[in-house]
Amino acid sequence: MGKLAKALAGTMLLHLTVAEADETVKSRFTLNGFGTLGVVYSDEEQADFVSNTFAPDGAGYTRTWSPEVDSRLGLQLTASLTPRLTGILQLIAEQRYDENYTPSVEWANLKYDITPDLSVRVGRMVQSSLMVSEYRKVGYATPWVRPPDEVYSLVPVTNFDGIDLSFRSHFDGFTNTLQGAYGRKDASLPDGGTAEVRDVVTLTDTLEWGNATLFASYGRTRLSIDAKNINALFEGYRQFGPEGEAIADRYDVDDKRYEVVAVGTRYDPGDWFVMGELAHSNSQTFIGDSRGWYVTGGYRFGAITPFVTLARVRVDSSTSDPGLSLGGLPPSLAARAGGLNAALNGLLGSVAQQKSVTLGARWDFARNAALKVQYDRLDLDNGSPGVLSNTQPGFEPGGRVDLFSVTLDFVF
């Protein structure tokens, strides 16, 4: 420890002297922004296509054409406090769980560069579990209208509060970036509930070599969901003795471990690109274990980039459970137990299972802006609502849903 402290102090002293010699310190404050203006159409009138699990509504049932799913505005203030110390504040206005567009603090952190290749951050910062997580809200930085839901819905949270370390190394033309993070996160759900994410541990590694990128990550958290209908369901089960308690313990979301493992790759020589990602989530809860993947490829004809995406998400764990045995229960209790079993199976069956084909094009028509059009054909698995939410009594699970989106993405 003494050695490390000395080495750190030495490095910092060295940087101070370099800093004094560096007469070309950039301006102290930089303001950057990004945004998307978009509409998405869905032909499913009995359910909503939403931006993420925290959104109260979207396209389809609530509005045939929704501007709320993809539109957002982000502002970022970067303060170079010293050549090694940077402060970042990022505010984002977008559809929130409460149907309000009040800007939220997406990040507020301090970053210290111990060396140009080793940095530590403290505060609220970006969550990096998946290959595109770090800029998933910046439409301009991605080929699609939105990252494929089959993979990105497995990690709906985009930031956390805590600390992270990033270490970059170079060897033989390879650049490797290893990141480790620890923290916590609270999120509000549209129905008034909350999700508490504790002991967030994320490890990611990105290996770049020329035009090729390889990505791998492991994330683990302890997840608790506090929502009225879910609480009522498991409290109901717990009144049925050991059998009910066992069911509640198996499926409730109370300080349960939630893990996500992902691998991804990208090859982008400039004229064309391909990328793909595979993610697996698991938890001993009603959310179950999901496996999602996508493959995307595109070709750049000057300013126009047509692309195609294939994606799939399915559940590895069981999507139904026999629940409480009704035999031997008095009729009133049997009816109640039957109701609980139906509710539990409703939850288990509502986990997303679908495949999709996406065709789209991006047009870089101006220096800071791109126009995108995208057609998605979702093919929902039998019995599953796929990634749709806000399902209405008239909704029939399974089948095909067509989405059509147009967005204008810009940065400044």
Partner 1 sequence: MTAIGWGLLLGLMLGTASAEVVVVVSSENPVQSLSHAELADIYLGRMHNFPNGESVVPVDQRENSPTHHEFYSRYLGRTPALIKAHWSKLIFSGRGRPPRTVTDDKAVAEFVAGNHHAIGYLTPELVDKRLRVVPIE
**Residues within the interface to partner 1 (CB under 8 A):** 24, 26, 30, 32, 34, 74, 76, 78, 86, 88, 90, 107, 109, 111, 116-117, 121, 125-126, 128, 134-135, 137-138, 140-142, 166, 168, 170, 173, 175, 208, 210, 269-271, 300, 302-303, 364, 367-368, 370, 411
List the structure tokens of 199: 């002991």
CA of 43: how far to CAs of 60, 62, 63, 69, 244, in Å? 6, 12, 10, 15, 40
Q: How near is the Cβ of 134 to partner 1 at its closest, in Å?
A: 4
Q: Distance between CA 352 and CA 358 in Å, rounded?
A: 17
Q: What is the number of other CB atoms lying within 10 angstroms of the CB of residue 210?
A: 11
Nearer to partner 1, 35 or 190 (CB): 35
User: How far apart are CB 133 and partner 1 at their closest, in Å?
Assistant: 9
C-beta closer to partner 1: residue 10 or 241: 10
Q: How far is the CB of 206 from partner 1 (least distance, A)?
A: 10
CA distance 2 to 273: 48
Contact (CB, 8 A) for 282 and 318: no
Sole residue written with tokens 């579990």: 129
Instruction: Retrieve residue 276's tokens.
Output: 């793909």
Q: How far is the CB of 21 from partner 1 (least distance, A)?
A: 10
Distance, CA of 237 to CA of 336 (rounded, Å): 10
On the CB side of 62, CA atoms within 13 Å amount to 18
Q: Smallest distance from the beta carbon of 135 to partner 1, in angstroms? A: 5
Burial class (CB in 10 A: 0-12, 13-18, 19+), 201: middle
398 conformational bin, left if phi > 0, alpha if psi -120 to 50, beta if neither: left
C-beta of 90 vs 358, nearer to partner 1: 90
Q: How far apart are the first and last CA of the chain?
A: 44
Length of the chain counted residue by residue: 412
Half-sphere exposure (CA, 13 Å, Cβ side) for 157? 27
Residue 40: closest CA among 411, 292, 405: 405
Residue 141 CB, shortest distance to partner 1, in Å, is: 4
- Shortest Cβ 118–partner 1 spacing (Å): 11
Q: Which residue has the tokens 């958290």?
A: 221
- Ramachandran region, residue 173 (left: φ > 0; alpha: ψ -120 to 50; beta: rest): left
Dist. CA 369–CA 365, nearest whole Å: 7
Can you tell me whether residue 8 is helix, strand or coil? Answer: helix
Q: Token pair 């990690």 is at which residue?
A: 155
- CB atoms under 10 Å from CB of 344, counted, come to 24
116 vs 394, beta carbon nearer partner 1: 116
